[in-house]
Structure 1
Amino acid sequence: MVQVLFHRPTVWASDIQCSTKVLARLTAARGYDTDYLQAPLDPAHLLRGPGGYLRVWRDSPRNAGGVNILTPATPVPVRDVWPLNGLAAASLRYRTCIPSLSRIGSPDLVWTTVPGSGRAMKKAFPAAKVVFHVVDYYPAFRGEAVKSLERDDYAAVDAVATISGTLTDYLTGELGVPRDKITTLGQGVEVDRYAPDLPEPELLADMPHPRAIWTGVLTKGDAGLFAEVAKDMAARGGSLVLIGPGAEWADQLAKAYPSMVRLIGPVAPTELPGWLVHCDLGIMLYDRARQDVYRGQNPLKLYEYAAAGLPVLSTPHDEYAQLDPPAAVLSHEAEVAPAIADALTQSNSPGQAARAFVAARSWDAKLDTIFDLYLPQAS
């Protein structure tokens, strides 16, 4: 049987949606032996108490919907400070895993997203096709030192896939990765999960229309732009729904508009479509002071909103120059109210345009591409 190993730091049981988890779940649904390797936990993780990461480690290995969840531990901490951010620390992290990577077996395809893991995966699984999936502009989160890990990763693996053309340009232009080694895979969405007749969540039922919604980590949002959204939605007699881990600015906004701003907290990815299809406007207004974080981003949120048929308000992303997204792009507070008015009253159907955008961008289609390129014997 074909065996596929996915590797990403995101904890499987968390409410954070990510492409790797979706691809792993869909791979298992096709009947393949599928493993999801979470990033090795070091002593700082494991000593935080009986809950959290220690529980995650103790629960491994386990199976979730056909996916084998694996969480090793390591005595080697990897941090974004010297010398813990270098190639030696990254290599030791995987060589000292408990249990060792050899316990996984002999995967045919390894799909990794963790900087510093590329060479380790190739050494551990020399017979596998190892692909590094670049899902972020890593220097924005990890500092310039991560570029040395990236160069080593991309040289060691068999192939590289990116979520955006902007990231492909970064890899070829700044890191010197050969263009023929890279596939710009893009992002996707499970379109069939966004049926318009999904049940309305109870916590949403009493919120007045029009409803604007944000999903994701709220600390990434722009407080000033969201204040304008709340002000405009209040004037319309509508509401603003904020889904995801909280932020101080969101707490303050909910206090200022107690009857029309609702903080929901995290929602399981499987439940999210039911929220989106019962709203009227998708919000993607990211912190304007942190634009380096969004260099090369191709946000999953855009695809989820579009699959639900929502018009979208977004701050700029470099990728939009190549993507032509179904979104109104804005950068200043004064642009918010006119953009909302246009989104809610435009004569052509925003739902039709949005769904046309995602029609050819399903995760199943992306998985077909992955298998055709990197595992043709299983296609």
Structure 2
Amino acid sequence: MAALSFTLSAQDPNSKARAGEFVTDHGTVQTPIFMPVGTVGSVKAVSQQQLKEEVKAEIILGNTYHLYLRPGLEVLEAAGGLHKFNGWDGPILTDSGGYQVFSLAGNRKLTEDGALFQSHIDGSKHLFSPESVMDIQRIIGGDIIMAFDECPPYPSDYAYARKSLDLTHRWLDRCFKRLDETPDKYGYSQNLFPIVQGSTFGDLRKESCAYISSKNAVGNAIGGLSVGEPEEMMYELAGLCCENLPENKPRYLMGVGTPWNILENISLGVDMFDCVMPTRNGRNAMLFTSRGVINIDNKKWEKDFSPIDDGIDCTFSHYYSKAYLRHLVKAKEILGLTIASVHNLAFYLWLVKEARKHILAGDFNSWKNEMIPIIKTRL
């Protein structure tokens, strides 16, 4: 049982992009990496076998809020944790549920103790505190577990952002204290990542980076972005955070984003990403491909029997045609949701693996500048 370790292999000479790898007790992950989101213990419409064989995922996410409510801690603990419950034997990262409490639960009440909220399932009341969220994540059994924080809405005024940040830092201290008091539950290492907050205010972001860096955690996350702010503001703040976080620790930008968002943020020094966009957009007929963006619902694809995307390494993307996938989508056939979701996830994983190759080759920045206009093209 060893704590997560991170090794840097290369940095692009013309940007801050870097290639590395981190090692967990459930396997090694090469960075930069995209992590499919399995909110309730399942990446929507995609099996664990498809995640491994087609998507080539190296790490997936689970969510504390959703798993706590359903199936519940009793079931997860009886199963021996999420790995054994859902059959995924690779690394898992668990989000703390803070974002869901503040965005989904409604009628929530924030206090020094934590967040009182109502379940979106049955309206029952619950309290998430830094301590309870650490305990819940111990039971879920993620290899990487996230601190309980508040994600302030966009826009927030300075006074609110200041108060929220101070609370997030006090909660972080309690998260570390709770973990020190409780052992890893299933015989492997569970590693806490603190989360940088500070809304859109550069001085608060720098202060948060300094506070979080002082904790000497094995990795650090950047939260509170991609919540409605303009793209250029996201890039500016993500870059600022990367400049003020340790170079020898992985940096995780939470909830971002489009393929071009990911490439731009890799160039700023981000190592880890997650987002529901590839699966959510896939279920709504939007495909990301190596040649551009496709709305597969459009009639123009009705007789296009070419592969969905023969430019990436995914059997689904080569085997099924655009015309067939359009037919499935129009017929509301469940298989269409799976094909679109698998393809989009495979594209995201292909993209970050290509980025890694170009970082190692030393030409990432020029490749990125050529690639972004292509993948943004509306076909």
TM-score, normalised by the number of residues in structure 2: 0.39
Structure possessing the higher radius of gyration over alpha carbons: 1
Q: TM-score, normalised by structure 1?
A: 0.39
